Amino acid sequence: MISSREGLIWRWEWRDSLTQSEEHDLIKLKELLLDVNLNPNSADRWRWIIGSASLFSVNSCYNFLVLLGSSESINPTMLVAIKNLWKNDVPSKVHVENCSHLFYSCNFTQMVWNAIFKWMGCSITI
């Protein structure tokens, strides 16, 4: 983004020429960004787009997974695990988590990500 008399504008720089397919994707991306207004005076922040409060909650993640399970074919064992998610003896809000730890550095989360990638047929190490 660069500042101009008209305000902030997108500045696109590519190392190589774009293919026809990439040009088409860029046009679609620009259309998606038409209504995006960035504020250079405001710090970036994490936002959970699935929940109504824009904050991550286990409940919003659970509801998303259940909806996903009803619209796509998920391994039946995984669906049973999702539906039984609330039936546990773990107290709510055991400790405060931050996004980085929750999604990337937590050992349990890494096992979950690896299981998800394996389920999807991918081999990615986090």
Asked if residue 51 is part of any domain, the answer here is no
Per-residue pLDDT averaged across 90-115, rounded?
Answer: 76
Domain that holds residue 99: 58-120
Per-residue pLDDT averaged across 17-30, rounded?
Answer: 92
Alpha carbon distance 86, 49 (integer Å): 22
Count of the separate structural domains present in the chain: 1
What integer pLDDT is reported at residue 90 of this predicted model?
64
Per-residue pLDDT averaged across 14-19, rounded?
Answer: 91
Asked if residue 44 is part of any domain, the answer here is no
Asked if residue 91 is part of any domain, the answer here is yes
Of 102, 35, 42, residue with least CA distance to 113: 102
Per-residue pLDDT averaged across 23-31, rounded?
Answer: 91
Written as one string, the DSSP assignment of 95-126 is S---HHIIIII-HHHHHHHHHHHHHTT-----
What are the C-alpha distances in Å from 91 to residues 23, 56, 88, 99? 51, 17, 9, 20
The mean pLDDT value of the chain amounts to 77
The predicted-structure confidence for 43-96, as pLDDT tens digits, reads as follows: 877 778 886 777 788 788 878 877 776 655 667 777 677 677 666 666 665 566
Asked if residue 126 is part of any domain, the answer here is no
pTM (two decimals): 0.34
Identify whether the C-beta of residue 118 lies closer than 8 Å to the C-beta of residue 106.
no
How would residue 8 be classed by pLDDT, with cut points 50, 70 and 90?
Answer: low
Percentage of the chain modeled with pLDDT above 90: 10
Asked if residue 21 is part of any domain, the answer here is no
Asked if residue 49 is part of any domain, the answer here is no
